[in-house]
């Protein structure tokens, strides 16, 4: 675990971090949060969100580490939602002390989605045949080489229902909301920021600038415009770039498939706004 810096800042400041794009297993947000939250002159965490959500596990890890800032480091956390704070991004946001939104912010999408591709006819057209040898009837569930069975469909439904329950519990705890207040809106629907404030899913209408001032007061910083500490982005290693893009350079079609169909996100439960995998 990275040890927190202790002499980085000369003045009381707010750590400014961003959750952007689809949430996957790699997270510079978490790296910076863990590295800098223990710094003596970091008095609070301002998180700017513009994301449709993503993979379940990393979203849950974000929530856990945001809550840890408040419980173990005793520092306030404020989330400022821009255009989008949906599904896994909202899941993470409910760990904050306050959620500030714009009236037209699209947010919520409290639900779970799993998507599968049945490519059986494509393989038939290509005269390709696949055989799976497994140790149990569910081991190759979701295989793209054949239709899904009824048992498999129920198996996946049970799985995402369990993960959905975890999502709802996180919202109820973070927003101090009763189950009967949450349940009618936990069906995956998107709602706007103004509605979210009126119904307890967010705290106040405001901009990033407003969120900064609110957090400054919560952190005990007297300055009207608290200093923001912006961690430097990690420079991309040239070899990592080559490894990630070599196949696309050789096969442009694979690059198109990767960008538009997101195969790395299929076949797993996601806290992701519907439509992201199909645009």
- CA–CA separation, 59 vs 79, rounded Å? 15
Active-site hit among 51, 59, 87, 141? 87
- CA–CA separation, 8 vs 35, rounded Å? 11
Active-site hit among 139, 165, 217, 258? 139
CB 36 within 8 A of CB 30: no
Nearest to 273 by CA among 143, 18, 13, 91: 91
Nearest to 79 by CA among 110, 107, 101: 101
Instruction: Specify whether 27 is catalytic.
Output: no
- CA–CA separation, 150 vs 89, rounded Å? 32
Instruction: Specify whether 255 is catalytic.
Output: no
CB 130 within 8 A of CB 54: no
172: exposed, middle or buried (Cβ count in 10 Å: 0-12, 13-18, 19+): middle
Q: How far is CA 152 from CA 102, 145, 155, 269, in A?
A: 41, 14, 5, 14
- CA–CA separation, 243 vs 226, rounded Å? 41
Catalytic annotation, residues: 87, 139
């Amino acid at each position: 675990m990275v040890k927190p810096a202790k002499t980085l800042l000369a003045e009381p400041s707010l750590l400014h971090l961003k959750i952007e794009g689809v949430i996957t297993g790699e997270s510079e947000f978490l790296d910076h949060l863990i590295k800098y939250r223990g710094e003596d002159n970091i008095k609070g965490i301002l998180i700017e969100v513009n994301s449709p959500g993503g993979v379940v596990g990393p979203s849950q890890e974000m929530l856990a580490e945001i809550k840890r800032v408040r419980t173990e480091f005793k520092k306030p956390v404020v989330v400022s939602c821009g255009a989008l704070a949906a599904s896994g991004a909202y899941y993470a946001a409910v760990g904050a002390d306050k959620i500030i939104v714009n009236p037209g912010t699209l947010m919520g999408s409290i639900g779970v989605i799993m998507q599968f591709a049945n490519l059986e006819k494509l393989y038939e057209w290509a005269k390709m045949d696949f055989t799976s040898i497994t140790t149990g009837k569910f081991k190759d569930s979701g295989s793209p080489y054949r239709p899904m069975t009824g048992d498999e469909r129920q198996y996946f439904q049970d799985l995402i229902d369990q993960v959905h329950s975890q999502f709802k519990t996180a919202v109820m705890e973070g927003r101090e909301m009763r189950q009967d207040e949450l349940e009618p809106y936990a069906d995956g629907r998107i709602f706007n920021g103004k509605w979210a404030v009126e119904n307890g899913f967010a705290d106040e209408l405001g901009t990033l600038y407003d969120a900064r001032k609110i957090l400054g007061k919560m952190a005990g910083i007297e300055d009207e415009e608290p200093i923001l500490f912006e961690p430097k982005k990690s420079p991309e290693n040239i070899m990592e770039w080559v490894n990630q893009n070599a196949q696309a350079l050789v096969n442009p079609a694979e690059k198109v498939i990767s960008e538009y169909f997101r195969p790395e996100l299929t076949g797993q439960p996601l806290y992701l706004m519907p439509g992201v995998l199909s645009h």
